[in-house]
A and B are shown apart, each in its own frame.
Chain A
Amino acid sequence: MRALLQNRLSTAGIVTLVVAAFLPFFCKNYIVDVALTIVTYGILGLGLNIVVGYAGLLDLGFAAFFAIGAYTTALLETHLGLTFWETIPAALVLTSIAGIIIGYPTLRLRSDYLAIVTLGFGEIVRITVTNLTITGGPDGLYGINPADVLGHDLTAPKAVYALGLVFLAVVLVFVIRLGRSRLGRAWTSLREDESAAEAVGVPTLRVKMLAYVMGALVGGLGGSLFAARFGAIDPTSFTYAQSVSILIIVVLGGRGSIPGVLLGAVIVAGLPEALRFIHLWREFVFAIALILLMLLRPQGLWPARLRHIAAPSETEAEGVAHAAPAEQIAERVAGEPEILLETQQLSRAFGGLRAVSDVSFTVHRGEILSIIGPNGAGKTTVFNCLTGVIPPSSGAILWNGRPLARLAPHRVVARGLARTFQGIRLFDNMTVFENVLVGMDHRFHLPVVAEMLALPRAQRETGLHYAAARRWLEFVGLSDQAGLRAGDLAYGDQRRLEIARALASQPQLLLLDEPAAGMNPTEKQSLMGLIRRIRDLGATVLLIEHDMLLVMGVSDRVIVMDRGQVIADGAPDAVRTNPRVIEAYLGRDEEEEDEMPDALGQGAIA
């Protein structure tokens, strides 16, 4: 009922926005002028929304892209005599280069540092155009020709406004398609949990860079429009205050929400106009209103809804060839050698502590291998070294006979190692289905442009992946929950979703880090069944677990670690009675030694 009401409300809201867009055609020129300013801010807001709303990055220098677009159009028109339309490709190329330049140094920075670096970039651009002679210095450039359509110059306010609406419509289609593409999905995962996204296969650095570039493109387009509208530009239009206004539009409206951003543009560009009657007080009143609105609606006035892509139905998914779990894994492991993974003297030190020290073991294809050991034995550190989360201090990792070292985590996933986490790290604010799709990110090969244009090949690729994702959800028993928010799942279901997300990357080796932690006995029982079924698909399973009942019941082989070293390696029964293992768990106490085998057999050592 509430959802229905919300749907009605947002439909009504969208209709209002559309109607409002056409009202100025029946108004006097002053209103048309304000409306055009709103449209320009709308375009800029939609561009910044890609960076801030979709990808969750910060940009306090967005006006720089606006400036680069405007100055490119102005310079090419006034110096080279190009027409407005001819300058647009150049403006887009230059702004995307600027997007790469700003993106590059910021990629590796902690998110809080983005604020100052992007701000600095914006100031550098503004100061540069203020000080150079070619850009006209503080006076700027003038004599820029208006846009022409079929030989008619667009100079009348209503004609320019119509052009603005066309630009806005193009940008709207672009950002909506982009948001629904796999790139949009990758951005959302980045915003939710950056290191988890990287660890399940999203190339986070490239994806972040693309956010800046796409945002820059839209900002540059807004700049070209701006230059053609006024016929003159100067540096005062591209200040830090301008960047802040655009950011306010996005955050006030609702990050990631397209109608929210448009509403934000109406408020930020329209409210000061509406407040003209209070003269000097208007900036102050605007500031206070802004603070109050943020306090009352921290999520924005029109918050984004959960991204929702419907999973294909059971029959639709069955109808797609090559989507079945067994086929997917078989396709991956065919023709690969018998020894899947080998570590040689793997070591990792944190400061003076050697968390992992000269660890050597092999993983054979098709086995279920467990690593056990007391807390602090270095088990998770081994996982982190294998998956590229942290580089080993020394030693080698051989993957299918070839070295696997110093690769970024997403590249490790592409090679066929997928993992789950000790503490669940799902993308809470994405649907269950989309969580699985994020795990497939590296399997999409066609360019995003093809997907945005809905080319048949791209549709086929998307269809295959949607069907495969659906089949993986069936495999772990979550197909009925596909449309739910991942954060709302029950605990055991969240664990299973993490496994489905990892499996969706088509792994040869699945690394499970304490999958049974916090599960009740029934859930553990079904987890054991699930692990066996994963192996039966042809995948290999490497498991860290404290629950001995599960380890002893499911493993073909067990490796025991203590204080960073491997102290035993063998069949479950042999390990269970190994004196060194018993000592590692319970210490060397004469009385307790007798009880040991039994204690291990009963489980519950955590």
Chain B
Amino acid sequence: MSEFLQLVIAGLTTGSFYALIALGYTMVYGIVRLINFAHGDIFMVGAFLGWTMLSVLAAGHLPWGIALFIAALLSMAITGGLGVFVERFAYQPLLSAPPLSILITALGVSLALENGILLLFGPGFKTYPHLISMAGFSVGGAQISHIQIGIIILSFLLMGALYLFVHHTFIGTAMRALAVDRDAARLMGINVERVIQITFFLGSALAAAAGVMEGLYYTQISFFMGFVVGLRAFTAAVLGGIGNIPGAMVGGLIIGLLESFSAGYISSRWTDVIVFIVLIGTLVIKPTGIFGERVVERM
């Protein structure tokens, strides 16, 4: 029982990372029908930016809480900007080209970001400072650390904020309009390019937040960390129903729990096999994912 609870908490923590990153995949897909294969690497860049900021700020003798807050915020802003930059130069010119062309550019961006970070920071691991103690409390025999609780709460706050933004602001409404019909939205006077850029900004900023939290939690980051995490987050987005925001959140948590249980009860070597079998099984039963809606085509 205590082991089970332990695994649930661990699963929800990693699931929060996946959920935050899956939101970026799902928002971008919903609006421009692009599977942004570079998104996992955007997350990785966010983690590296956070590490850089913290290293600089830690030298300035700031209280750790303030340093962390500034580092996270700056990392989110810069990574968000990077997302917009990538969209503007690599994706926007191809939005009306065959979908595979833009997919290949996305793969190119992914490769460029990985190797760019490799050139800048080298191939080794970078270690986040131990700012938050791993101490915690015990519930029913399970050890739960403060950082786990912090990550889960903060992720839910961010996801809640995004949900409110999408449903209760003008730009959020414009985003939803674009998802339904980009051309109609343009004819209604919506600045489509701007809304797409805001979407990339938000998605990338959320991924950066996940990157900084992952750095704090696992303490070690490397240039190739974006691949596996990005893959699982993408799987989460599809599992939940790609294009659907609550679907990405739920999908992320499910993948996190699956990973945690398979590591705890079977073997972490088979994690991805289990994750993909669950995904394929779900899609066979419900081809549009958990929350996805079936699109009826007109003849």
**A interface residues with partner B (beta carbon < 8 Å):** 52, 58, 105, 108-110, 112-113, 115-117, 119-121, 123-124, 127-128, 130-131, 195, 199, 240, 244, 247-248, 251-252, 255, 280-281, 283-284, 286-288, 290-291, 294-295, 298-299, 350, 380, 383-384, 389, 421-422, 513
For B110, what are the chain A residues with a Cβ–Cβ distance below 8 Å? Answer: 287
B115's contact among A113, A124, A255, A283, by CB below 8 Å, is which? A283
**Would you mind naming 17 contact pairs between A and B with Cβ atoms under 8 Å apart?**
A105-B280, A112-B33, A115-B35, A115-B103, A116-B234, A116-B279, A120-B280, A199-B299, A240-B227, A252-B104, A280-B118, A280-B119, A283-B114, A287-B115, A291-B90, A295-B90, A421-B299
For B108, what are the chain A residues with a Cβ–Cβ distance below 8 Å? Answer: 287-288, 290-291, 294
Is B101 located at the chain interface by the 8 A CB criterion?
Answer: yes
Nearest-CB distance from B276 to chain A (Å)? 3
Q: Is the CB of B284 within 8 A of A105?
A: yes
For A251, what are the chain B residues with a Cβ–Cβ distance below 8 Å? Answer: 100-101, 103-104
- Please measure, in the bound complex, the distance between the C-alpha atom of A240 and the C-alpha atom of B94, giving whole angstroms: 24
For B276, what are the chain A residues with a Cβ–Cβ distance below 8 Å? Answer: 120-121, 123-124
Is B213 located at the chain interface by the 8 A CB criterion?
Answer: no
- Please measure, in the bound complex, the distance between the C-alpha atom of A19 and the C-alpha atom of B258, giving whole angstroms: 54
- Please measure, in the bound complex, the distance between the C-alpha atom of A252 and the C-alpha atom of B98, giving whole angstroms: 12
Q: Is the CB of B104 within 8 A of A294?
A: yes
Known: A248-B104, A299-B98. 9 other contacts (CB 8 A): A109-B287, A113-B283, A123-B276, A240-B227, A247-B104, A255-B100, A281-B119, A287-B112, A295-B105
A296 nearest CB neighbor, chain B only: B93
For A130, what are the chain B residues with a Cβ–Cβ distance below 8 Å? Answer: 269
Nearest-CB distance from A498 to chain B (Å)? 13
- The B237-285 residues at the A interface (CB cut-off 8 A) are 238, 242, 269-270, 272-273, 275-277, 279-280, 283-284
- Please measure, in the bound complex, the distance between the C-alpha atom of A421 and the C-alpha atom of B288, giving whole angstroms: 27
Q: Is the CB of A291 within 8 A of B105?
A: yes
Nearest-CB distance from A299 to chain B (Å)? 7
A115 nearest CB neighbor, chain B only: B35
- The B73-124 residues at the A interface (CB cut-off 8 A) are 90, 93-94, 97-98, 100-105, 107-112, 114-116, 118-119
Q: Is the CB of B283 within 8 A of A109?
A: yes
A117-B112 contact in complex given A105-B284, A298-B98, C-beta closer than 8 Å: no
B277's contact among A124, A421, A513, by CB below 8 Å, is which? A124
For B171, what are the chain A residues with a Cβ–Cβ distance below 8 Å? Answer: none
Nearest-CB distance from A301 to chain B (Å)? 12
Q: Is the CB of A117 within 8 A of B119?
A: no
Nearest-CB distance from B143 to chain A (Å)? 30
Q: Is the CB of A284 within 8 A of B112?
A: yes
Q: Is the CB of B299 within 8 A of A127?
A: no
- Please measure, in the bound complex, the distance between the C-alpha atom of A542 and the C-alpha atom of B269, giving whole angstroms: 61
Is B181 located at the chain interface by the 8 A CB criterion?
Answer: no
- Please measure, in the bound complex, the distance between the C-alpha atom of A140 and the C-alpha atom of B275, giving whole angstroms: 24
A126 nearest CB neighbor, chain B only: B272
- Please measure, in the bound complex, the distance between the C-alpha atom of A81 and the C-alpha atom of B289, giving whole angstroms: 46
A295-B104 contact in complex given A109-B287, A112-B33, A380-B299, C-beta closer than 8 Å: no
Q: Is the CB of B272 within 8 A of A287?
A: no
- Please measure, in the bound complex, the distance between the C-alpha atom of A58 and the C-alpha atom of B101, giving whole angstroms: 12
A127's contact among B97, B270, B297, by CB below 8 Å, is which? B270
Nearest-CB distance from B178 to chain A (Å)? 17
Nearest-CB distance from A453 to chain B (Å)? 32
Question: Lowest 4 CB-CB distances: which A-B pairs, in order?
Answer: A120-B276, A298-B97, A287-B111, A287-B112
For A389, what are the chain B residues with a Cβ–Cβ distance below 8 Å? Answer: 299
Is B148 located at the chain interface by the 8 A CB criterion?
Answer: no
Q: What is the interface of chain B mostly: helix, strand, loop, or mixed?
A: helix
Which residue among B93, B100, B102, B288 has the maximum number of chain A CB atoms within 10 Å of its CB?
B100
B34 nearest CB neighbor, chain A only: A112
For A281, what are the chain B residues with a Cβ–Cβ distance below 8 Å? Answer: 119
A120-B111 contact in complex given A251-B101, A252-B104, A291-B105, C-beta closer than 8 Å: no
- The B24-43 residues at the A interface (CB cut-off 8 A) are 29, 33, 35
For B283, what are the chain A residues with a Cβ–Cβ distance below 8 Å? Answer: 105, 109, 113, 117
A123's contact among B94, B272, B297, by CB below 8 Å, is which? B272
Q: What is the interface of chain A mostly: helix, strand, loop, or mixed?
A: helix
A127 nearest CB neighbor, chain B only: B273
Is B235 located at the chain interface by the 8 A CB criterion?
Answer: yes
A195-B101 contact in complex given A121-B276, A295-B94, C-beta closer than 8 Å: no
Nearest-CB distance from A297 to chain B (Å)? 9
For A112, what are the chain B residues with a Cβ–Cβ distance below 8 Å? Answer: 29, 33, 35, 242
Q: Is the CB of B297 within 8 A of A298?
A: no
- Please measure, in the bound complex, the distance between the C-alpha atom of A255 and the C-alpha atom of B242, giving whole angstroms: 26
A291-B112 contact in complex given A117-B280, A121-B276, A195-B297, C-beta closer than 8 Å: yes
For B238, what are the chain A residues with a Cβ–Cβ distance below 8 Å? Answer: 113, 116
For A116, what are the chain B residues with a Cβ–Cβ distance below 8 Å? Answer: 234-235, 238, 279
Q: Is the CB of A110 within 8 A of B287?
A: yes
A239 nearest CB neighbor, chain B only: B227
- Please measure, in the bound complex, the distance between the C-alpha atom of A247 and the C-alpha atom of B107, giving whole angstroms: 10
Nearest-CB distance from B192 to chain A (Å)? 20
Q: Is the CB of B105 within 8 A of A294?
A: yes
Is B231 located at the chain interface by the 8 A CB criterion?
Answer: yes
- Please measure, in the bound complex, the distance between the C-alpha atom of A412 and the C-alpha atom of B283, giving whole angstroms: 28
Nearest-CB distance from A349 to chain B (Å)? 13
B294 nearest CB neighbor, chain A only: A110
For A124, what are the chain B residues with a Cβ–Cβ distance below 8 Å? Answer: 272-273, 276-277
A128-B273 contact in complex given A291-B109, A294-B108, C-beta closer than 8 Å: yes
A52 nearest CB neighbor, chain B only: B100
Which residue among B33, B93, B234, B276 has the maximum number of chain A CB atoms within 10 Å of its CB?
B276
Q: Is the CB of B105 within 8 A of A119?
A: no
- Please measure, in the bound complex, the distance between the C-alpha atom of A422 and the C-alpha atom of B62, giving whole angstroms: 69
Q: Is the CB of A284 within 8 A of B115?
A: yes
- Please measure, in the bound complex, the distance between the C-alpha atom of A127 and the C-alpha atom of B272, giving whole angstroms: 8
For A121, what are the chain B residues with a Cβ–Cβ distance below 8 Å? Answer: 276, 280
Nearest-CB distance from B34 to chain A (Å)? 9
- Please measure, in the bound complex, the distance between the C-alpha atom of A58 and the C-alpha atom of B107, giving whole angstroms: 14
B93's contact among A58, A295, A384, by CB below 8 Å, is which? A295
For B299, what are the chain A residues with a Cβ–Cβ distance below 8 Å? Answer: 195, 199, 380, 383-384, 389, 421-422, 513
A248 nearest CB neighbor, chain B only: B104
- Please measure, in the bound complex, the distance between the C-alpha atom of A113 and the C-alpha atom of B237, giving whole angstroms: 11
A283-B280 contact in complex given A127-B269, A255-B100, C-beta closer than 8 Å: no
Q: Is the CB of B104 within 8 A of A120?
A: no
For A384, what are the chain B residues with a Cβ–Cβ distance below 8 Å? Answer: 299
Nearest-CB distance from B263 to chain A (Å)? 14
- Please measure, in the bound complex, the distance between the C-alpha atom of A37 and the C-alpha atom of B39, giving whole angstroms: 31
For A294, what are the chain B residues with a Cβ–Cβ distance below 8 Å? Answer: 94, 101-102, 104-105, 108
B269's contact among A115, A131, A248, A287, by CB below 8 Å, is which? A131
Which residue among A105, A199, A252, A287 has the maximum number of chain B CB atoms within 10 Å of its CB?
A287
A409 nearest CB neighbor, chain B only: B299
B243 nearest CB neighbor, chain A only: A112
Q: Is the CB of A108 within 8 A of B287?
A: yes
- Please measure, in the bound complex, the distance between the C-alpha atom of A290 and the C-alpha atom of B101, giving whole angstroms: 11
- Please measure, in the bound complex, the distance between the C-alpha atom of A287 and the C-alpha atom of B235, giving whole angstroms: 24
A194 nearest CB neighbor, chain B only: B297
Q: Is the CB of A120 within 8 A of B101?
A: no
- Please measure, in the bound complex, the distance between the C-alpha atom of A72 and the C-alpha atom of B299, giving whole angstroms: 46
- Please measure, in the bound complex, the distance between the C-alpha atom of A488 and the C-alpha atom of B114, giving whole angstroms: 44
- Please measure, in the bound complex, the distance between the C-alpha atom of A280 and the C-alpha atom of B115, giving whole angstroms: 9
Nearest-CB distance from B26 to chain A (Å)? 12
